Amino acid sequence: MALSYDRWTTGPNAGRLTLDIPETLDEFVEACGPLARSHDHAAVSRLLEELINHPDFASSVPPFGPQEASPRGWTLGGEHVCHQSDELTVMVLDTLPGVLQPPHDHEMHAVIGVFEGCEDQRFFARTADGIAPAAGRSLETGDVVVLGERTIHAISSPEGRRARAIHVYFGDIYGADRSIFHPDSLEEFEMSETRYDEFCRPDSR
Ligand SMILES: [Fe+2]
């Protein structure tokens, strides 16, 4: 089935684009390649929405795997990387309740689509001397959002509800120079796996 989509209303790439609707995760990753090269975040968002609502999608997703605790004892969920290149990273991200993961940025656009449970997003805004908490949003099953390249967020999942989501990044998320923020002081640091582990906190809600 095809999706006809108004790409942009102005600019050199304006016009109607017709895309095949992906039915599996592999088809979605393939469709994202050219869309990542043309920075078409809205088209990826539309395709992701179609994908996670397609009846064949669930069987194409890696199963929720055994959970290994981090060096500091946190069990976050896990990342199943489906594709990683300079222009695109696609992963299935599992989030387990009980842990408030630290605020961080991506330095690239991202699209998130939740296909199971609920992924809580806490957003932060840059201020003159750091960052400050901003509005949050709970992404329920079926929700898809586009995050701008300057977005700073912290994720968690509500008590008793694990979350599974497709995260699409418009670049190599593992190779990017990114920031992470101390959960209490909100001081900015260079992102590292060690700091991510160190900055997790129990989610006591
Ligand atoms: Fe993130």
The band of 14, judged by pLDDT with boundaries at 50, 70 and 90, is: confident
Residues 6+ apart with CB under 8 A from 31: 19, 20, 22, 47
**pLDDT at 9 > cutoff 90:** no
Phi/psi of residue 8, nearest 5 degrees = -145, 155
Query: Cα(169) to centroid of ligand 1, in Å?
Result: 9
114 alpha carbon, distance to own chain's centre: 9
Query: Cα(15) to centroid of ligand 1, in Å?
Result: 31
Query: Cα(83) to centroid of ligand 1, in Å?
Result: 17
pLDDT of residue 8: 66
**pLDDT at 3 > cutoff 90:** no
**pLDDT at 42 > cutoff 80:** yes
State the residue for tokens 């489906």. 82
Structural Rg of the chain based on CA atoms: 17
**pLDDT at 33 > cutoff 80:** yes
Percent of residues, the chain, with pLDDT higher than 90: 84
Range 32-38 average pLDDT: 94
Q: Which residue has the higher pLDDT, 199 or 2?
A: 199
pLDDT of residue 106: 98
pLDDT of residue 68: 87
**What does pTM read for this prediction?**
0.93
Query: Cα(165) to centroid of ligand 1, in Å?
Result: 12
> In the predicted model, what is the mean pLDDT of the chain?
93
Q: Give 199's DSSP letter.
A: T
How is residue 55 written in tokens? 């009846």
pLDDT, one tens digit per residue, over 124-160 is 999 999 999 999 999 999 999 999 999 999 999 999 9
Q: Where are the beta strands (DSSP E) in 40-178?
A: 77-84, 89-95, 99-100, 104-105, 110-116, 118-127, 130-140, 144-147, 152-156, 163-169
